[in-house]
Amino acid sequence: MTDTQEVDVLILGAGVSGLYQLYRVRELGLSVRVLEAAGDVGGTWFWNRYPGARFDSESYTYGYSFSKELLDEWNWSEHFAPQPETLKYLQHVTDKFDLRKDISFNSTVTSAIFDESSNGWDVRVEDGTTWRGRVIITAIGILSAPVYPEIEGRDSFEGFACHTARWPHEPVDLAGQRVAVIGTGATGVQVIQELGKIAGELTVFQRSPNYCVPLGNGPIDGETQARIHATYDEILATCRETHTGFIHRADPRTIWEVSDEEREAFFERLYKEPGFGLWVGNFKDVYLDRAANDILSDFVRRKIRERVNNSAVAEKLVPTNHGFGTRRVPLESGYYEVYNQDNVRLVDLRETPITRITPSGIETSDCSHEFDAIVYATGFDAITGAFDRIDIRGVGGRSLKEKWAAGTRTYLGLTVAGFPNLLTIVGPQNASIFCNIPRCSEQNVEWITDLLRHMFDAGHQRFEAEESAEDEWTALVGQIASMTLFTQTDSWFTGVNRNVTGNHHRNDLIFMGGAPNYRARCDEVAAAGYRGFAFS
């Protein structure tokens, strides 16, 4: 045990959001400490170092926008940068702004308990260290609690086994090996593409196929680099205007306003366009109107069938239980062609489920497969999982996990009634989750910074969301979500995440009204003297 150290603000997490929040809190002249579980900065980009990990956001829309000097001096090498480059970027930012001195690494927070007598939070770290902060800001990520599948015998496997989000720092040589990958989400797709190039035999265990579309990556040449730098203002302005913080603008037409030929040509263009164009730059009704979505889904299904030589394999890769875009769309570079290679096999777990893992491989209902390595691309306990792994207790000792067990409730996706002086960057019911994260998390950070200025300047010790404000926000989040097709699909967007064992029910976890609308609502609340907040 050590003596408790006291600061004005404790930030949990030194990823993209936590680093920027640290920079801003320091500007307020407040004392601040960041507690980070990892051994260095980077969050997502520290942990996810599996082969093939890279952005699905255009690199030049992902960096911080707050410093012109930083924008000017950093050159991204590819349109969609690989993980090592992003980590290097975040390390560069950390060093440039001398952020490291306020961060405690290897500090996994186990509990945060609100003390009503002093209006502060008592925070405990795994190693026994204790901290006290007037305010806690969580920047713990929405995809930071990795989940291994609960399969009998999992620990008995004697070869290399690893979750993609816990990939070792030292090189892992899987060249020529017999490798299994379980999971075909955005991560599985990236890792399968890479391992397909080097594995002796690659076996993919797929439970649900996804609609994957081309990433369109490539190096950024000198001329393009110069153009990016010269037009950063416009690029960032576009990102501020779009629903999702990407540079792809949704088309203002409905699908029914164009001829069949025009529609097909439009889809073709978006399919070939780099990035998320087909997903978020499409007709405005494709996630509101089932019939419109069916047409788009059929287009992508045709593309999959065209690219996979074996028609039986192609059918296994074609999603049929949900519409295009209602789950996170994985972007790919030759993913479907991997299944045309002789060294690659696809096992459809809907036909032959895994029965157990053995010391030498994986048994399915029909046979046993021998492996040297098993890669778990099995995802995360998304959005609320990282909160659930910390014992967070507010007024009256009430646990946040228990409060949210019946359904997540927040005000603005940034605060929770009954949990004073707690702020959640990219928290549940925030617009940032369905967004190019840095673009939206910057907004969260800046709004929070203003709130802190307001609080500390006025000499308040405590702020808290009012129950009625939380009720209204939660209802609004649900109302908007229910207008979309997203709520009709099981995925981590809707809380029905089959990665995680337990009684998962549909949950309104994301503000789907779009980033500009969200920003306007946050600004209105601030302009009205922080309507819905009680200060004391």
Least separation in angstroms between residue 203's CB and ligand NAP is 13
Candidate residues 55, 266, 411, 434; the one interacting with ligand NAP per rule CB under 6 A: 55
Q: Enter the tokens of residue 31.
A: 């004392």
Residue 425 touches ligand NAP, criterion: CB under 6 A: no
Cβ neighbours for 459, distance < 8 A, ≥ 6 positions apart: none
* 3 state SS of 452: helix
| Cβ nearer to ligand NAP, comparing 89 with 380 | 380
CB atoms within 10 A of CB 331: 25
Could you give the CA distance from residue 176 to residue 336 in angstroms, rounded to a whole number? 21
| Cβ nearer to ligand NAP, comparing 108 with 352 | 352
Least separation in angstroms between residue 62's CB and ligand NAP is 9
Q: Which one of 64-72, 114-122, 170-178, 378-386 is the stretch in contact with ligand NAP (CB under 6 A)? A: 378-386
Q: Which one of 152-160, 195-203, 243-251, 374-382 is the stretch in contact with ligand NAP (CB under 6 A)? A: 374-382
Least separation in angstroms between residue 206's CB and ligand NAP is 7
| Cβ nearer to ligand NAP, comparing 165 with 220 | 165
Could you give the CA distance from residue 390 to residue 382 in angstroms, rounded to a whole number? 14
Percent helix, strand and coil across the chain, each rounded to 5?
35, 20, 45
Q: Enter the tokens of residue 111.
A: 């509990």
Least separation in angstroms between residue 330's CB and ligand NAP is 7
Least separation in angstroms between residue 139's CB and ligand NAP is 17
Binders in 168-197 for ligand NAP, by CB under 6 A = 182-188, 190
**Which residue minimizes CB distance to ligand NAP?**
185
Candidate residues 378, 441, 487, 494; the one interacting with ligand NAP per rule CB under 6 A: 378
| Cβ nearer to ligand NAP, comparing 278 with 416 | 278
Q: Which one of 332-340, 375-383, 469-477, 479-487 is the stretch in contact with ligand NAP (CB under 6 A)? A: 375-383
Binders in 14-43 for ligand NAP, by CB under 6 A = none
| Cβ nearer to ligand NAP, comparing 189 with 295 | 189
Q: What mask, x for binding ligand NAP by CB under 6 A, covers residues 332 to 371?
A: -----------------x----------------------
| Cβ nearer to ligand NAP, comparing 453 with 504 | 504
Cβ neighbours for 309, distance < 8 A, ≥ 6 positions apart: 339, 340
List 375's β-bridge partners, or say none.
162, 181
Contact of 520 with 528, CB cutoff 8 Å: no
- In 54-153, beta strands by DSSP E: 103-104, 109-115, 120-125, 130-138
Q: How many residues bind ligand NAP (CB under 6 A)?
A: 25
* 3 state SS of 313: helix
Residue 499 touches ligand NAP, criterion: CB under 6 A: yes
Contact of 89 with 41, CB cutoff 8 Å: no
361-364/368-370 β-pairing: antiparallel
Least separation in angstroms between residue 123's CB and ligand NAP is 27
| Cβ nearer to ligand NAP, comparing 42 with 149 | 149
Could you give the CA distance from residue 180 to residue 199 in angstroms, rounded to a whole number? 10
Q: Is 177 left (phi over 0), alpha (psi -120 to 50) or beta?
A: beta
- In 222-366, beta strands by DSSP E: 331-332, 344-348, 354-358, 361-364
- DSSP character at residue 107: -
Binders in 196-215 for ligand NAP, by CB under 6 A = 205, 207-208
Residue 492 touches ligand NAP, criterion: CB under 6 A: yes
- DSSP character at residue 516: H
**Interface contacts to ligand NAP, rule CB under 6 A:** 54-56, 143, 149, 182-188, 190, 205, 207-208, 328, 349, 377-380, 492, 498-499
